[in-house]
Amino acid sequence: MTIRWKHLIVLVVIAPLLGLAVGWSGLMSVRASTGHWAVTDWFLHWVMRNSVSVRAVATADVPPLEDPGLVPGAAGHFETGCAICHGSPAQPRPDSVLAMLPPPPDLKTSVPEWSDAELFEIVKHGVRFTGMPAWPVQSRDDEVWSMVAFVRKLPDMDAGEYIAASGLHGIGHAGEVSPLPLTCESCHAENRLNDGSHIPRLAGQSEAYLLNALKAYSDKQRPSGIMQVAVGTLPAESLPELAAYYAKQPIAARPVAQHDPALVEKGRTLAEQGRLSDKIPACLSCHDKAGANLAYPKLSGQNSAYMRQQLKLFQEGTRGGSSYSHLMTGSAKNLTPEDINEVTAYFSQR
């Protein structure tokens, strides 16, 4: 029998109609309880792995992920947003989650199967048809890499190490966290922070600055997948109370960060004088001076790792914040990497 073009055309027209008819009839089961056919399950996972692997090739160079400062914020976010489906070393996945189709994978066994670039692709963009969401803010690759750094360590963590990393105590079920402000303390507690922390010190900041920051996260004016999720579930009336709580916290004494004295001295010069040739104003002309605008953050004693990251975000134009954030976007534009290291070293010791 010779297949003619007209036969192919008829097939092209009829096949979609038959598919629509099958879908309309209701004969095709969508019950999660029955599971997939083995061939369907294989095909879906095959497509997913190929898709992730191909797109991971285009991922930017993988940054160093051994920095311990990357882990705490990601661990806290994982416990509040991811552990309910994936479980954790402290709590297994609940039966209700295991009844999903497909069930979320046990990361202890699945993470080693993926490269860092592939994990980045999955965390940032999510996976269709699985319930795996995309990262809440697509402009914050630094946060996505922090999560990659954390999940890479997750398979080797025991319950104690996991709870220490996430900072959450009294866990009853995966995904369950303590009431505010204890939940915030899981990341921001003074005794959990050091100069290498990517999480800021809140104690000693003004109530005005903290409230502006919380509102900026809530209104999605300051991009952060971690903080927008944390603040997004809070009622608006709780934000002033939370800002007041941290503004009243005493600044805990801790060892002075160790930096090269020459580095600190160069940072002091930039902080006090700026650099007119590059249109970089003196940091202390706005920050940390008597009578300073209370909406400006206090920089003295802040973690240098956190400040470095924020300056980079300002340079990229992704930092956002209150109505004053544009001032820092312009001020940070011409800072060199050396400038950033110097000025953050200076303020961390000030």
Using pLDDT thresholds of 50, 70 and 90, give the confidence band for residue 44: very high
Return the C-alpha torsion angle 255, 283, 223, 214, nearest 10: 70
Q: pLDDT tens-digit profile of 70-106? A: 999 999 999 888 999 999 998 888 899 999 999 999 9
Cβ contact 206:214 at 8 Å: no
Reading the block at residue 227, the tokens are 């903080």
CATH assignment of 188-247, given 1.10.760.10, 3.40.50.460, 3.20.20.70, 2.60.40.10?
1.10.760.10
% of the chain residues with pLDDT over 90: 69
Integer Cα distance of 186 and 72 in angstroms: 9
The model's pTM: 0.90
The pLDDT score that the predictor gives to residue 3 is 66
Rounded (to 5) percent helix, strand, coil in the chain:
55, 0, 40
Q: According to the model, what pLDDT value does residue 177 have?
A: 45
The CATH fold assigned to 261-349 is Cytochrome Bc1 Complex; Chain D, domain 2 (1.10.760)
Read off the pLDDT band of 181 (50, 70, 90). Answer: low
CATH 1.10.760.10 intervals, the chain: 68-178, 188-247, 261-349
Which of 33-37, 38-42, 148-152 has the highest mean predicted lDDT (pLDDT)?
Answer: 148-152
- Which DSSP category does 276 fall into? G
> What pLDDT is stored for residue 173 in this prediction?
47
Q: Name the CATH superfamily, with its identifier, for domain 68-178.
A: Cytochrome c-like domain (1.10.760.10)
For 296, the 3-state DSSP assignment is coil
Cα-based torsion angle of the residue sequence 267, 272, 276, 277 in order, rounded to the nearest 10 degrees: -20
CA distances from 348 to 6, 48, 203 (A): 76, 45, 14
How many residues in the chain? Answer: 350
Residue 137 and residue 224 in contact, taking contact as beta carbons nearer than 8 Å: yes
Mean pLDDT of the region 55-78: 92
User: Rounded mean pLDDT of the chain?
Assistant: 90
